[in-house]
Amino acid sequence: MGSLEEAERKTIMGWAATDPSGQLSPYSYSLRNTGPEDVYIRVICCGVCHTDIHQTKNHLGMSNYPMVPGHEVVGEVVEVGSNVSKFRVGERVGVGIIVGSCQNCRSCEAEIEQYCNKKIWTYNDVYTDGNPTQGGFASAMVVDQKFVVKIPEGMDPEQVAPLLCAGVTVYSPLSHFGLKQSGLRGGILGLGGVGHMGVKIAKAMGHHVTVISSSDKKREEALDHLGADAYLVSSDEGKMQEAADSLDYIIDTVPVFHPLEPYLSLLKVDGKLILMGVINQPLQFITPMVMLGRKSITGSFIGSIKETEEVLEFCKENNLTSQIEVVKMDYINKAFERLEKNDVRYRFVVDVAGSNLLVDH
């Protein structure tokens, strides 16, 4: 590669938050040169996740600015390092929420690097070279090959983006806890980005799926559009009592404080309540609710690189698509506003390659 191209390549454009207002605007910065283990990726599109809002607005109190968010990244390989054999120039690849880990702890050795205590987040973190990590709302990324996944032939990049976080987040616990076999009865609590993928993936596994929501407003959507088998309004005590002891598992995607007891009562003996929502205050339950059915309250965090590849294959085989709204980069602040009001069915995906990253509206 010539020195002129190298000089051009080091500076790229992204959209960054510069303070806790969370407003994004154009920002230019440098990428590291492609090392022996690295894949240099031109970003095609990137999904928008609730976590992006938490981080840009410093809801978790650990944000560093300027910050380029985005961790459901689909791109094309432009260049590979000398030790990279898995990927070739021109291939479509994906990058999720993690771009590094220690490689030698128990979690890394077990190939569940998302549980490594030294994992490196795709953005709002510091890479091994001391530079800040920046995400997929940008024209390009350089990522260690171990944290890049191959996208199966024929899958639409915009459709793939939400699978890299929302999709694998649901698939991982179903796989890990032995809940993949058909005939199970599952509940999906909360019908946002993760919840809607939960319905689709669980249905494709052959499960009877009940969507549990706080109001009736998503009933038609859940039953007619997503193919759920039943819809339960959590405030309807009669219907909740009728559904007691009926579910093998509940995937709880609600990202705000909520009581657990009503949902624990829906589980069968040995049923599992799997927590997925990031909530920064303690949840409560009384112990007999768990003891008297040998029930489990557990959590699961995204999924491994291996599981990400599995969920992509699973979605391809079962012809599963995510419901998305594609927007350009200059719409991102509006998209964040709408996402905070849950005004999206069910995932925004930014067409990065088709956006003029320099324009600020």
Q: What is the pLDDT of residue 3?
A: 47
Q: What is the pTM of this model?
A: 0.92
Least confident of 2-6, 7-11, 24-28: 2-6
By CB atoms closer than 10 A (0-12, 13-18, 19+), residue 42 is middle
Does the structure show a pLDDT above 90 at 268?
Answer: yes
Residues 91/97, Cβ–Cβ less than 8 Å = no
> Residue 211: which residues within 8 A CB-CB, separation 6 or more?
187, 188, 191, 195, 199, 218, 222, 223, 226, 228, 230, 231, 232
User: Three-state SS across 243-288?
Assistant: CCCCEEEEEECCCCCCCCHHHHCCEEEEEEEEECCCCCCCCCCCCH
The closest alpha carbon to 103, from 146, 154, 165, belongs to 146
Q: What is the pLDDT of residue 361?
A: 46
Q: Report the alpha-carbon angle 172-38-99, nearest 5.
A: 35
The rounded distance, in Å, linking the Cα atoms of 38 and 166 is 25
Domain ranges for the chain: 11-165+316-351, 168-299
The closest alpha carbon to 310, from 217, 172, 209, 208, belongs to 172
Q: Which fold has domain 11-165+316-351?
A: Quinone Oxidoreductase; Chain A, domain 1 (3.90.180)
Three-state DSSP class for 218?
Answer: coil
Pair type for strands 120-121 and 38-48: unpaired
Average pLDDT, the chain: 94
Q: Which amino acid is at 86?
A: K
DSSP symbol at 72 = E
Mean pLDDT calculated for residue range 224-235: 96
Mean pLDDT calculated for residue range 120-144: 97
CA distances from 197 to 175, 209, 220, 297 (A): 15, 12, 17, 21
By CB atoms closer than 10 A (0-12, 13-18, 19+), residue 223 is middle
By CB atoms closer than 10 A (0-12, 13-18, 19+), residue 168 is buried
Residues 264/289, Cβ–Cβ less than 8 Å = yes
Q: What is the pLDDT of residues 277-320, one digit of tens each?
A: 888 889 999 999 999 999 999 999 999 999 999 999 999 999 99
Does the structure show a pLDDT above 90 at 252?
Answer: yes
Chain Cα centroid distance, residue 344: 15
Helix axes 166-176, 193-204, angle to 10 degrees: 50
% of the chain with per-residue pLDDT over 70: 97
β-bridge mates for residue 92, sequence order: 76
Does the structure show a pLDDT above 80 at 210?
Answer: yes
Does the structure show a pLDDT above 90 at 63?
Answer: yes
The closest alpha carbon to 273, from 165, 166, 346, 179, belongs to 179
Q: What is the pLDDT of residue 9?
A: 55
Residues 60/52, Cβ–Cβ less than 8 Å = no
Does the structure show a pLDDT above 60 at 4?
Answer: no
Spell out the CATH class of 168-299. Answer: alpha beta
Type and span of the H or E element at 160: helix 157-160
Q: Can you list the positions of beta strands (E) in the chain?
A: 11-17, 24-30, 38-48, 72-80, 92-95, 98-100, 120-121, 140-144, 148-150, 185-189, 208-213, 230-233, 247-252, 267-275, 296-299, 324-327, 347-350
Q: What token pair was written down for 254?
A: 């609600």
Q: What is the pLDDT of residue 279?
A: 85
Three-state DSSP class for 54?
Answer: helix
Q: What is the pLDDT of residue 2?
A: 47
Does the structure show a pLDDT above 90 at 334?
Answer: yes
β-bridge mates for residue 138, sequence order: 14
Per-residue b or e along 184-203, where b marks 16 or more CB atoms closer than 10 Å to that residue's CB: bbbbbbbbbbbbbbbbbbbb
Does the structure show a pLDDT above 70 at 5?
Answer: no
